[in-house]
Structure 1
Amino acid sequence: MRKKTVSEYIEGIKNGNRALLAQTITLIESNAAKHRKKAEAILKAIHHLSGNSIRIGVSGVPGAGKSTFIETLGTYLCNNGYHVAVLAVDPSSTVSGGSILGDKTRMSELARNKRAFIRPSPSGGKLGGVHYKTRESILLCEAAGYDVIFVETVGVGQGETEVRELVDFFILLVLTGGGDELQQMKRGILELADLLCVHKADGNNKQQALLTQKEYELSLHLLHSNQDGWEPKAVSCSSLDNEGIEEIWDIICEFKTYMKERHLFYENRMKQSNAWLESLVREYLWNSFYENEEVKKYFYDIKTRTEHGSLTALEGAYELIHLYEKRAAKNERCD
């Protein structure tokens, strides 16, 4: 099969071609060095087309119904003229490295909608609840014309702060029984939320959901707002009965207006760009270190000596760093 050119990828994205958008994200996510330059060229070419969306992070406790919630809200938005992209992250096994990648199956109705694009990606065992190329995927979706982008996280309660650095608005889904759940939930995650939603407020659970909502409203008043001056809100909703969905979108629109009027919306985007810059530098240095020939040659020997106690972890680290710097200096002289 003939390999696509950079121009073909770019034109496909500009035309909103979902198949080519998916292929481009696959290219961006690739760790292969041969794909890196092509990926960089594509991102540079489409960058001016990005930024015109509202980026929404959705996280929550296991079983909170994140995918169902996104599908219901996403379908509502598609029916009201929006183009919706969902970047869903599946947890990866730390043993096999495998991932379920079932979000397209769980969001079957939304996946069939021509105004929607769903992309499941493995987390790669990475903390923070997102794939390490989610930032780039957001830019590609914006360039393809998607004006509402959902980032669904792993939702395991680990380092969700990284999600906050990717999105404009952060929704935390919880279930009824707020008192016990609130005690178990890390305060830091609660402080990240712009909106806390008690999900599955339907049937016999509806009354309890309203009581749980009140509990969270009281708790949120005690926490400092993550966004300047914005008062985090607590609501209840049902994806099953389609109740509270329109109210949630109204709150998101209210938030966007509030932040833009105070010139905070794009200030936050600039902070996101800086965080992305730092992340890319860390990624480059990490790869550079572990791809270094001297480091690869002696890594397992030093690791074994550290495990057996003949070398301290600090001594082992400095020895590896010395090997890295020695090889880097040698390469520089050769160049």
Structure 2
Amino acid sequence: MPNKKNNPSALNEKAGVSSQETISSNAIRQIKESRKKQPSAKELIDGILKENITALSRAITLIESTNPAHLEKATEVINGCLPHANKSVRIGITGVPGVGKSTFIEAFGKHLTSLGKKVAVLAVDPSSTISHGSILGDKTRMEELVKDKNAFIRPSASGETLGGVARKTRETITLCEACGFDIILIETVGVGQSETAVHSMADFFLLLKIAGAGDELQGIKRGIMEMADAVVINKADGDNIKKAQLAKVEFNRALHLFHPKKSGWIPTVATCSALTHEGIGAVWQTILDYLELVNSNHYFEEKRKEQNLFWMMETINEQLKDNFYNHPEIQKLLTSTKKAVSTDEISPFAAAQLLLKKYFKF
């Protein structure tokens, strides 16, 4: 017969506490304890270099944090990973909503892992301008790839960053490279003039299009088409095959209107079906041909150096902005200044100048 004196369940029953409540309280206590014990920067770096995905995920969460207290630790992690980075191929992928980016990335990612590559997908979800929230549902849209042991998918909210690239994507790339990923796929929110953000961190820029959407002739306009190293017309299957071939001709004509690229590369146009995987291998071969060219003429190295300088300046701009808005005195003045602007007591430009002058005096 069991001894009720030493039986926790019996004691809990006597006290009117169910075993389910006991389990729940234990689980909550364990969660709280694990949250209290945060890994050090060194532990995160060591974990990343050992290709530990949990350490990588926690480090990315750290660098995405807007808490100023996390900045020093995040910087230490990035600096510790930097000597082990820069060994991947970074591919930017963009296109209008509905073009099938997630389906294409899954098919492309599976093709790469079948070749023995380790693939990291940095998928940026658009943040609502009203609620500032994001769905972050990329993992649910890439059901097969998320199960692949050689793939890592990290959805991030774009926040207020123009160009559809999460604010800390550049640093996330560094961590993924240090974790041993060969290919980094950067998916952007959509097409826009500020899409230069992803172009400035990718080695190869891929523009996805679909046939019959009425935007074929927009290829003659400068902007996103100028940045593309390849245009891929997706959904070239079933009844769309003929339309895709016609669109391919139109985009080829449009690309010939642009100035030659500094890389010496001539942008290509191809068709594919992410659904049937037709043409996916050809897209990877195009990227390999590009890499062979830019490595032979040293443009790859030159572009990486330019990108590093660009991101140094961007980081300075972001840090100045953060310091301004997090300054306690500025935070006090902002409320009254906003009120004065909304009641037309002062113009927005004069108010901005007033705040900036006060900030630089502190």
Instruction: Provide the TM-score with structure 1 as the length reference.
Output: 0.94
Map 1:246-285 to 2 at 5 A: 246-285=281-320
User: Conserved in 1, the CA contact under 8 Å of 2:216 and 2:251?
Assistant: no
SS state at 1:275 partner? helix
Match of 1:48 in 2: 83
Q: Are 2:119 and 1:93 aligned?
A: no
Instruction: For residues 76-118 of structure 1, give each alpha carbon's deviation from its aligned partner in whole angstroms, at most 9, with x where no partner exists.
Output: 1101110000000000111111101011111110111111100
User: Conserved in 2, the CA contact under 8 Å of 1:179 and 1:215?
Assistant: no
State the 1:287 CA deviation. Answer: 1.0
Match of 2:187 in 1: 152
Match of 1:332 in 2: none
User: Conserved in 2, the CA contact under 8 Å of 1:46 and 1:143?
Assistant: yes
Match of 1:82 in 2: 117
Match of 2:48 in 1: 13
| Equivalent in 313, 329, 334 of residue 348 of structure 2 | 313
Q: Distance in 1 between matches of 2:262 and 2:283?
A: 18
Residue 210 to residue 82, structure 1, CA distance change in 2 (3 Å): same
User: Conserved in 2, the CA contact under 8 Å of 1:178 and 1:216?
Assistant: no
State the 1:306 CA deviation. Answer: 2.2
Residue 220 to residue 144, structure 1, CA distance change in 2 (3 Å): same
Q: Are 2:60 and 1:30 aligned?
A: no
SS state at 2:298 partner? coil
Match of 2:229 in 1: 194
User: Conserved in 2, the CA contact under 8 Å of 1:84 and 1:149?
Assistant: yes
Higher-Rg structure is 2
Q: Are 2:201 and 1:166 aligned?
A: yes
State the 1:11 CA deviation. Answer: 1.4
State the 1:247 CA deviation. Answer: 0.8
State the 1:273 CA deviation. Answer: 0.4
State the 1:57 CA deviation. Answer: 0.3
Instruction: For residues 278-335 of structure 1, give each alpha carbon's deviation from its aligned partner in whole angstroms, at most 9, with x where no partner exists.
Output: 01100111011112222211112222222322212232122111211222xxxxxxxx
User: Conserved in 2, the CA contact under 8 Å of 1:157 and 1:186?
Assistant: no
Q: Are 2:143 and 1:105 aligned?
A: no
Residue 226 to residue 25, structure 1, CA distance change in 2 (3 Å): farther
Residue 69 to residue 276, structure 1, CA distance change in 2 (3 Å): same
Map 1:162-241 to 2 at 5 A: 162-177=197-212, 180-183=215-218, 187-241=222-276
SS state at 1:127 partner? coil
Match of 1:333 in 2: none
User: Conserved in 2, the CA contact under 8 Å of 1:289 and 1:324?
Assistant: yes
SS state at 1:187 partner? coil
Q: Distance in 2 between matches of 1:179 and 1:292?
A: 49
Match of 1:325 in 2: 360
Q: Distance in 2 between matches of 1:39 and 1:215?
A: 47
The unaligned stretches of length 5 or more in structure 1 are 328-335
Instruction: Provide the TM-score with structure 2 as the length reference.
Output: 0.87
Percentage of matched positions with identical amino acids: 46
Q: Distance in 2 between matches of 1:241 and 1:183?
A: 27
State the 1:277 CA deviation. Answer: 0.3
Q: Distance in 2 between matches of 1:111 and 1:35?
A: 29
Instruction: For residues 151-199 of structure 1, give each alpha carbon's deviation from its aligned partner in whole angstroms, at most 9, with x where no partner exists.
Output: 0000143510111001000000011026644338963011110000100
SS state at 1:321 partner? helix
Q: Distance in 2 between matches of 1:180 and 1:103?
A: 26
Q: Distance in 1 between matches of 2:92 and 2:262?
A: 14
| Equivalent in 94, 116, 138 of residue 59 of structure 1 | 94
User: Conserved in 2, the CA contact under 8 Å of 1:127 and 1:158?
Assistant: no
SS state at 1:160 partner? helix
| Equivalent in 267, 274, 287 of residue 322 of structure 2 | 287
User: Conserved in 1, the CA contact under 8 Å of 2:112 and 2:119?
Assistant: yes
Match of 2:170 in 1: 135
Match of 1:296 in 2: 331
User: Conserved in 1, the CA contact under 8 Å of 2:220 and 2:257?
Assistant: no
Instruction: For residues 128-156 of structure 1, give each alpha carbon's deviation from its aligned partner in whole angstroms, at most 9, with x where no partner exists.
Output: 11101000000000000001000000014
User: Conserved in 2, the CA contact under 8 Å of 1:92 and 1:99?
Assistant: yes
User: Conserved in 2, the CA contact under 8 Å of 1:67 and 1:107?
Assistant: yes
Q: Distance in 1 between matches of 2:219 and 2:276?
A: 28
Q: Distance in 2 between matches of 1:119 and 1:159?
A: 22
State the 1:220 CA deviation. Answer: 0.5
